[in-house]
Structure 1
């Protein structure tokens, strides 16, 4: 929730002119500064509306909410059905190829060096030896609610060669910040392994892919990634960890605009008022706030094949019980591994529709899945291994409602594997939703989760061999 002071530049005709933009407006008049302090204090009480000071962000917010409404799927059960069909097909194909290629080898063991991709997202691209020549194929491989995110597919490649992040208003060509602020589609890749310490939050513009395949790239020890009032973003293959709150200041978000930002929270990735977002094969741990937060009517999101560890508040979907606009939020959480040192919120949901499918939950300390304000949560084919503490065996946690209220919320468990005393407290009347239809294809049961999540986290992709 960041506030911008008005600071807008005319649109530039050529992208390299961004380096000529000045710091004009940094020295604000005292009277305006005092007004800003007053406004910031009042905004904190009123929900921190970014629109009141900056016409640029007012327009972006309005456009973003319109896109979110358009991205909302009127038949979310149909999307989950389509997803589950893809899982069944991918596993059937994997079994057939295994039978052909592996004689006298157990079904859960694979010949050394052979690429095995048993979930439908990975099966779409991962076993191609020439993946590096066809990077953009990844854009056709999304599943779930974020399946329409194509990122920078329709743009040029941009290569990050410089891990520095020293200029927030006129970023240097070759840096990650230069690439993400461009006003055109870009497919961003990395020249080599690197650690990028963000000086302040990295604000991603629309139509971007950050593709770390082929390099070991860490966003670490600095500020967060922010996806705010934009659309169509893919983030793939990053290690994101040890993120700290930023101090704010003047930060550029596009070629046409920069402005004053307040402190950032220290999330790994913050999704705010955005749609068509896909986060895949990332590793995330130890951030100051959430690992991934999606709030303010964000929707059409898939989080897949990621590995999460060593964190308290893992995934937050919807930040306020009073923000009814989050009722359009639709998120798929699939094929992820929730690993060591996690406490809660995997995810914690409000208002919207959430498909939590074929994830491996091997650790939590308080609860795994929670929520408030009557979200619909469909848990299918997950493996839940409860911690040894007796008080933490329950997977679910409902907040700010008594049982006579939350018993009407639709929280369903289907095909989940419960281990070590784990239990899912269901609610809602199954007869009143579409999940009891005979033609509804179930996700693969939790017994399949180990193979479906086998390669969660960044992959060791190298040129000339399958990932």
Structure 2
């Protein structure tokens, strides 16, 4: 009887195998015929490959995040590429070799990868990939660190304090820059371990001296109305993996000629600071998102001295002269490795120039809303590559300030070879963009970081730029 049972099972398996072969053969025949059945199978294959690409992009990003190295003072930053090989000193730590080739994969990963978001709720689908990643979750305040998985552009690998504890700022004072009290913002940002820093209540923090940050920190203002104002502001110097989100930063002043602590084991003498809202100096993997910045003594966001792998997104800039400087000086060639994404920002009332001004490097200016400038919007001075895509440029009424672009103190015989392009931009009220360079797509591979949306969507994408009025218990 046992032998009979085994014979019966073998017969059943053979029949099942024959049935599978018949089904496969039928599917192949449908594909060869090219009929409706063939299209169904092909659509299934496309769906499967889309999912595979998204997962591959997510996996590659996770590997890069596990391979972050702190910056060393005075040295160019290096890193590992996706194959594990050491990057050259001119390559960007954490950046891909050909960003333009993987733009669609990255964009797909941001918008569609359920493994990355894993939130279990439907988004509103605004077209803003950062916001669609987290804002529509009514329980966002209970898993704040998921924000770190929503980054885009060249700074997308900035994880901040994602892998650390949550620290709550309860004390807005800043009485001692050398020995800060626990509970203050300064105490948190100088710690060695990763921290995700939040705020217990609304507060105005007036810093006596620069807030010198350590690596792997997030300052997350969501859920409170937090102003850093009327004193010193934020310095990100020779560190890596910093996220600044949801703050009002304004009326920053020069400070210095004082001792300031930068870690639990080190403090030192600081000379006079410029008075930037956010100063990025020799640092990488930096993300500044959903902040409102205005009226500071120098720049609102400046990135210099070999800084790279930076994203500036969803911010609202107002009432300022020199908004954003990217690059230390025309002679500082280490900035040739700089890659910065400027996306989904609103450049609003009272702005004059430098949105941004770029020296060396590669800059992706994508889906921003420029509603005010008095001199120019985008400038450059040392052969930067500027890739402007899907922005809305509304020129001022001044007939002599209609040009979006300005080559600073450079003759046309020099800048005519610089790679500056406008692709899909909406130019209003007489605005015009002066392109230059060869115009070949390959010229912009290192200045491409995500897929641009249509400029017709800019108003909705940027409608909530700046610090958000979020409260726990409802979508933000």
The bucket for the TM-score relative to the shorter chain is: 0.7 to 0.9
The partner residue of 2:390 within 381, 386, 394 is 381
Quick one: which of 173, 176, 179 aligns to 1:170? 179
Deviation for aligned residue 1:328: 0.5
**C-alpha offsets along residues 372-395 of structure 1, whole Å, 9 cap, x if unaligned?**
111000000000000000110000
SS at match of 1:70: coil
Within the candidate set 226, 230, 233, 1:221 is matched to 230
Indicate yes or no: 2:257 matched with 1:248. yes
Residues 86, 310 of structure 1: CA spacing in aligned structure 2 closer, same or farther, 3 A cutoff? farther
CA–CA distance in structure 2, aligned partners of residues 333 and 462 of structure 1: 27
The answer for the alignment partner of 1:155 in structure 2 is 164
Q: Which residue of 2 aligns with 1:199?
A: 208
Tell me whether 1:260 sits opposite 2:269 in the alignment: yes
Question: Unpaired runs of 5+ in structure 1?
Answer: 1-57, 91-100, 102-113
Query: How much is the aligned-residue C-alpha RMSD, in angstroms?
Result: 2.3
Secondary structure of the equivalent of 1:451? helix
2:98 to 75, 93, 100: 75
2:371 aligned residue: 362
Contact 1:86 1:120 in 2 (8 A): no
Give TM-score scaled by structure 1 length.
Answer: 0.79
Q: Is the 8 A contact 2:76 2:306 kept in 1?
A: no
Cα pair 2:389 2:424 within 8 Å, conserved: yes
Counterpart position of 2:73: 61
Q: Distance in 2 between matches of 1:335 and 1:387?
A: 20
Q: Residue 404 of structure 1: CA displacement? A: 1.6
CA distance in 2, matches of 1:442, 1:144: 9
Q: How does 1:171-320 map to 2 (within 5 A)?
A: 171-320=180-329
Structure 2 regions of 5+ residues with no counterpart? Answer: 1-69, 80-90, 114-121
Preserved CA contact (<8 Å) 1:131 1:466: yes
Per-residue CA deviation, residues 420-465 of structure 1 (Å, 9 max, x unaligned), is 00000001112362669xxx99622211100110110111111110
Q: Are 1:341 and 2:347 counterparts?
A: no
Q: Distance between the aligned counterparts of 1:69 and 1:432, measured in 2?
A: 20
Question: 1:256 offset after TM fit, Å?
Answer: 1.4
From the CA coordinates, give the structure whose radius of gyration is larger: 2
- Measured in 2, the distance between the counterparts of 1:338 and 1:89 equals 29
The residue number in structure 1 matching 2:407 is: 398
Give the Cα separation in 2 of the matches to 1:379 and 1:87.
21
User: Distance in 1 between the 2:282 and 2:102 partners?
Assistant: 21
Cα offsets for 1:360-380 (capped at 9, x unmatched): 000000000000111000000
Contact 2:372 2:395 in 1 (8 A): yes
Q: CA deviation at 1:71?
A: 3.3
Distance 2:166 2:388 in 1: 38
| Partner SS, residue 294 of structure 1 | strand
Aligned residues: 385
Q: How does 1:78-97 map to 2 (within 5 A)?
A: 78=101, 80-82=103-105
Please tell me whether residue 411 in structure 1 is matched to residue 414 in structure 2.
no
Q: Deviations over 1:77-103 (max 9, x none)?
A: 34655556578879xxxxxxxxxx9xx
8 A Cα contact 2:317 2:347, kept in partner: yes
Match of 1:454 in 2: 463
Q: Give the whole-Å Cα distance in 2 for the aligned partners of 1:88 and 1:418.
A: 28
Report the TM-score, using the length of structure 2 for normalisation: 0.77
Q: Is the 8 A contact 1:407 1:427 kept in 2?
A: yes
Kindly indicate whether the alpha-carbon contact (under 8 Å) linking 2:92 and 2:309 is maintained by their aligned counterparts in 1. Answer: no
**Residues 92 and 338 in structure 2, CA contact (< 8 A), matched pair in contact too:** no
SS at match of 2:176: coil
